């Protein structure tokens, strides 16, 4: 009887092809899940940003009820920054919140024009306001931030 000594230092071509095939099958199953996860994360980012805007508007509403007419602040969308700021007059820029710093500039106001929101001393807005907030990764998903004209209630809901 003769003994053969095989010193196998690597993989055979069949083993290598089988390994690559397994990796490709796993990747094919994971790709849709990762895509859905990214879309869900983008939607969550927009919802969180909308809640931040809602809280800032509620703060502005509360300050508007307590302030004198000359000291009232105005919420202004700022297209140059992609976000919004609060001003007391056109030259004042004492507080700015920039959406361009959140999510690498992917969260932005869209189709909102250039609205200014000012609250009266009764808590209601002086003008009707409806803002649309979206994400670059999910362009068909928009969150609406609406200030009710009479009651001043601030609503946040997805656009249908």
Task: Confirm if 65 and 122 have CB atoms less than 8 A apart.
Answer: yes
Strand blocks (E) in 82-158: 83-87, 95-97, 107-109, 116-117, 129-135, 138-147, 154-158
- Cα dihedral: 115, 119, 120, 123 (round 10): 140
Spell out the per-residue pLDDT of the chain, length 160, in tens. 566 666 567 788 999 999 999 999 998 888 888 888 989 999 998 898 899 889 888 888 888 777 676 667 788 887 666 677 777 765 555 555 555 544 456 888 877 666 788 887 777 777 778 888 888 888 889 999 988 887 888 899 998 7
Instruction: Quote the DSSP letter at residue 115.
Output: -
């Amino acid at each position: 009887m003769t003994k053969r000594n095989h010193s196998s230092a690597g993989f055979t071509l069949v083993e290598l092809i089988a390994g690559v095939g397994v990796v490709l099958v796993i990747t094919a199953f994971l790709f849709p899940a990762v895509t859905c996860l990214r879309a869900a994360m983008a939607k969550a980012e927009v919802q969180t940003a909308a809640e931040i805007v809602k809280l800032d508007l509620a703060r502005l509403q509360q300050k508007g009820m307590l302030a004198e007419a000359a000291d009232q602040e105005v919420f202004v969308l700022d297209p140059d920054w992609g976000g919004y700021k609060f001003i007391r007059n056109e030259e004042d820029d004492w507080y700015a919140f920039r959406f361009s710093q959140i999510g690498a500039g992917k969260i932005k106001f869209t189709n909102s024009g250039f609205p200014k929101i000012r609250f009266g001393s009764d808590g209601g807005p002086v003008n009707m306001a409806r803002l649309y907030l979206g994400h670059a990764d999910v362009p068909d998903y928009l969150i609406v931030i609406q200030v009710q004209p009479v009651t001043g209630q601030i609503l946040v809901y997805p656009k249908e």
